[in-house]
Structure 1
Amino acid sequence: MVVLALIALAVAAAAPLIAAALPKLSGGHVQVPEWVSATVALPALGVAALAASRTTPVTGFALGATLVLCVLASATAGAPVVLATFKVARRQPDGSPAPNAGPLRGGRVIGVLERIAVAVSILAGWPEGIAIVLAVKGLARYPELREPHASEQFIIGTFASVLWAIAVCGTGKALIT
C-alpha cells in the first residue's frame, strides 16, 4: 500500500508538469485544458489517501519520498486546482458577463511559494507557519485588495491553495504516522 500511495502522490505531482510540457513537446499540436490536471490530481490524491490509511508508518527511503512528493504535489497540482476553483466561482447564473481574469498579478508564482511554505510547515509539525504565510501574503497584497473583484479573487485563491496543500500533507502525515 505504501508503494501505491507514493505512486498516486507522484501522479498528482506530475500531472500538471506533463500537461504543461505536452504543448512544447508536440510543437503546439497537443493542447491540454487547465482542468485536466485537476481532474487527474484530485482522484490521485484520493487514491493516495486511501492507501495511506491502510499502511504502517513509513521509514527510510519511503519517508523521504513521502516528504518530497508531498511538497511537490502541493506546489505543482495546486495551481490547476485553484484555476478550476476560479472557473466554478466565476459562473454567472444570471447571464451577466463573467469578470476578467482578475486584478491580482503574479498569483501563480505566489501560489506555488505559498503552497510550498504551507506544506513544509505542516510536515515539520509547525502549523503556526500557516498563519505566518497567510499574514505575510495578506499584508503584501493589501494595497491591491481595493480593486474590484480583488478581495474575492484573493480569498478564493488562497483558500483553494491552502486547502489543497493541507489535503496533500494530510495524506503524507497518514503515511508518516
Structure 2
Amino acid sequence: MSVVLVALVWVVALAASVLGGGPVTQAVLRAAARSGDPARPPRPGRSGRARGVPADPASVPVPPPPATGPIGTEAVKALRGGTWIGVLERFAITGCLLAGEPGGIAFVVAIKGLGRYPELREHPVASERFVIGTLASMCWAATVGVVANAVLVALR
C-alpha cells in the first residue's frame, strides 16, 4: 500500500472527525434538551389535529431560549471554549485509533475531565452539557477512527 494512500486516509479521517463532530454534537445536545423539557410546548404537526392540515405558524408560541439544561445559557457560559476543546478531543481520539494506540483515549478523557472539574463543580447545571457533549463527540471520533482503520485494513 502506498504511503500517499495511507496519508490520504489519515487526512480524510481526521478532517471528517474534526469537522463532522461539531454538528453531530450540537444535534445531540439539542435533542437532549428537547427530550428533557416537560414544559416545552408541542411542536407543530404533533398535536391532536387532523393530519395534513398545516398549523398556522403565527399561532404557535415560540419559547424563549432555555436558561437551564444542556443548551441553556448558564451551561454554555460555564463551558466556554468547548468548541476548541471538542475539536482537539476528536483529533486526538481519531489519531490514537489510527496510530493503533487506543489507550491514549484514556489520557484524552482524563485531561478533559480534570481540566473541566473546577467549572463543573462551580456550575452543576453545566455537567449535563459536558457529559452529553463529550460522549457524542467521542462516539463520533471513535466511529470515524474505526471506519478509517477498516479502510486501511481493506487496502492492504
Per-residue deviation, 1:93:
4.4
For 2:91 and 2:146, the matched residues in 1 are separated by 14
Q: 1:173 to 1:112 in 2, by over 3 A?
A: same
Mapped pair 1:158 → 2:102: no
Identical positions, percent: 44
More helix by share: 1
Task: Please list, as runs of the form range in 1=range in 2, the aligned pairs for 1:21-60 lying within 5 A after superposition.
Answer: 59-60=2-3
2:100 aligns to what SS in structure 1?
Answer: coil
For 2:112 and 2:3, the matched residues in 1 are separated by 35
Task: Please list, as runs of the form range in 1=range in 2, the aligned pairs for 1:63-78 lying within 5 A after superposition.
Answer: 63-78=6-21
Per-residue deviation, 1:63:
1.5
Among 121, 125, 150, the alignment partner of 1:174 is: 150
| Structure 2 residue runs without a partner (length 5+) | 41-64
2:79 aligns to what SS in structure 1?
Answer: coil
Per-residue deviation, 1:64:
1.2
Higher RCO (CA-CA < 8 Å; seq separation 6+): 2
Per-residue deviation, 1:148:
3.2
Deviations 1:27-50 (A, max 9, x none): xxxxxxxxxxxxxxxxxxxxxxxx
Task: Please list, as runs of the form range in 1=range in 2, the aligned pairs for 1:88-127 lying within 5 A after superposition.
Answer: 88-91=31-34, 92-95=36-39, 98=66, 99=68, 100-101=72-73, 102=75, 103-127=78-102
Per-residue deviation, 1:61:
2.4
Partner of residue 33, structure 1 = none
Task: Please report the TM-score for the alignment, with normalisation by the length of structure 1.
Answer: 0.64
Q: How many matched pairs?
A: 120
Output the amino acid matched with 1:94.
P
| Structure 1 residue runs without a partner (length 5+) | 1-57
For 1:60 and 1:132, the matched residues in 2 are separated by 28
For 2:37 and 2:132, the matched residues in 1 are separated by 18
Output the amino acid matched with 2:39.
G
Partner of residue 31, structure 1 = none
Partner of residue 44, structure 1 = none
Task: Please report the TM-score for the alignment, with normalisation by the length of structure 2.
Answer: 0.72
For 2:113 and 2:33, the matched residues in 1 are separated by 22
Per-residue deviation, 1:149:
1.8
For 1:159 and 1:148, the matched residues in 2 are separated by 18
RMSD between superposed Cα atoms in Å: 1.5
